[in-house]
Amino acid sequence: MHRLLVDPHFLSQQRRFWDAAGAGELRSDVDIDCGGAVLSPGFIDVQHNGAFGVDYSKPDLTTAAVRKVARGLAAHGVTAFVGTVITSSADTYRAVLPLLGRRDARGREGASCLGTHLEGPFMHPAKKGAHNPLHLRVPTRGLPDALDVWGPDALRDARIVTLAPELPGCLALTQALRAHGIVVSMGHSTATAK
């Protein structure tokens, strides 16, 4: 039998908040009548592969399909997302990445797209998971090899890149991506702390 352990400090703070709210101790600069509903910040999904029958890594992706997902996500409290494209062929990257560009919907057309998360193809084959091994690559030349696969405009909307740092060229690629303001995440890797 498993027991869920909850930090009692959290529970006391939660109780304190609701007690203060009920006693009228909490004051805001602006009051918004939500008709009994709770107003809260929206979720931001930074690893979103698609939803509602849409897969961002399929070469037949369309703008209409991305908008369908954006509207569906907003209905579930997601206000922004980063479209994740997994290890794919160069043709697929070049077809789908332009469709997942940054788009500030401001709630008019659903969730905003913050750009792309390139999860692959620079992964260790032993940790490929569901990624297609036929498309795994080693970026021995760093950024030039990455752009050969992703396409010359891939960095314009890239926000996150997941790679295996132990692969030849991945450290140079990491430095180049960081210089472009892109977050590099270690994943699908056999790297150790040593």
CB atoms within 10 A of CB 110: 21
Higher pLDDT among residues 100 and 20, named by residue: 100
- Asked if residue 95 lies in contact with residue 59, where contact means CB atoms within 8 angstroms, the answer is yes
Which region holds residue 32: left if phi is over 0, alpha if psi is between -120 and 50, else beta? beta
Higher pLDDT among residues 108 and 66, named by residue: 66
Average pLDDT value for residue range 128-137: 96
For residue 152, CA distances in Å to 35, 93, 136, 172 come to 50, 11, 19, 18
Average pLDDT value for residue range 40-53: 93
CA distance 48 to 187: 16
Helix axes 143-150, 170-179, angle to 10 degrees: 80
Q: CATH fold of 29-186, please?
A: TIM Barrel (3.20.20)
Tokens 């991305």 belong to: 66
Q: Which amino acid is at 187?
A: G
CB atoms within 10 A of CB 100: 24
Q: Which of 177, 147, 151 is nearest to 162 (CA)?
A: 177
**Is the backbone peptide bond immediately before 152 cis, with ω within 30 degrees of 0?**
no
pLDDT, averaged across the chain = 90
Average pLDDT value for residue range 175-189: 96
**% pLDDT > 70, the chain:** 92
Question: pTM (2 decimals)?
Answer: 0.80
Domains of the chain, by residue range, sit at 29-186
CA distance 86 to 81: 15
